[in-house]
Structure 1
Amino acid sequence: GMLRLGEAALQVMGRAGARQVDGARTALGHAYGGGSQYFAMWIVSNER
């Protein structure tokens, strides 16, 4: 989950290098673990 969150943050900051999605301003991510016992969802944005 943390790798996905980190990638989302890099995308909206424009620092994802070769993986950069042009114009990325908002990202939605999700993850689960523990045999589907734990779920997380996040939204990151470059807007203030």
Structure 2
Amino acid sequence: MALLDSAHRVSTDRSPSQHFTEREIHPAICLAAGFGVIIGAAALVHVVFNVLL
């Protein structure tokens, strides 16, 4: 029942120590960057193996 009890839930509110001027990165940007890294790594492997073989 601890998962359902609101007293045990982790708060998603900002702590007072964090400044409101900080900008958080949108999750879609992180997702696009992740896919970009994967596609870039695959392209690099593809090019390297085409040159070597």
TM-score scaled to structure 1, two decimals?
0.29
> Which has the larger Rg?
2
Query: Which structure's residues are more often helix, by fraction?
Result: 2
- Structure with more contact order per residue of length (Cα contacts < 8 Å, sep ≥ 6): 1
